[in-house]
Amino acid sequence: MIFDCDGVLVDSEPIAVRVHSAVLTELGWPMSPQDVMERFVGRSTASINEMVEAELGPELTVEAERRFKRLHAEAVDAELVTVEGIEEALDGIGLPFCVASSGSHDKMRHTLGRTGLYPRFEGRIFSATQVERGKPEPDLFLFAAAQMGVKPEACVVIEDSRFGVQAARAAGMRSFGFAGGLTPADWLEGPGTVVFEDMRKLPELLDQLPLTN
């Protein structure tokens, strides 16, 4: 099982959306939280920076990233919690699992460490910084599968973003789309994806899914 991090393990998407919206608006690119959700959620930092640079130029992109990192880290320390039910879900899953996130390793050490989840995944944490192309391309999930020694068709991805489920489909992997957070269910629906809203039900849903050896 390949878990996304933000919005699946830790409830960080509301923080990131709020901070991105505030920072970019202050720097001259008015972005509502809805705009941020539609354009950024699920994408790598590199992909986001490309879009920001096209709008604001390279100097303000550097400043935007600097402000985002500082404000995001402060908010994580003040208010971050796990996604409700994720500990129970992890306890009930008998398969090997890992994390494959658009976030950096430093960011995941912070968020997973802050919420106490880091030891559950240590040594099995993969970042979009390790591949050429981020989500919605399949590179990250294929890299994670290779590192875990598992064929893509035997993997199941847990995602909360449209770009994430698109990446899973491109990788030839089935997926569960978590709609219990910010992302509307209809953004996640599509071939090979089961949409659900209660993380505690994940082990039960997994038991109902025929797995490929």
Catalytic residues: 4
Taking the C-alpha atoms of residue 152 and residue 124, their distance in angstroms, rounded to an integer, is 16
| Residue where the block lists tokens 């598992």 | 150
3-state per-residue secondary structure call for 79-142: HCCECCCHHHHHHCCCCCCEEEECCCHHHHHHHHHHCCCHHHHCCCEEEHHHCCCCCCCCHHHH
- 64: tokens are 């935007």
Evaluate whether 126 touches 44 at the Cβ level (below 8 Å). Answer: no
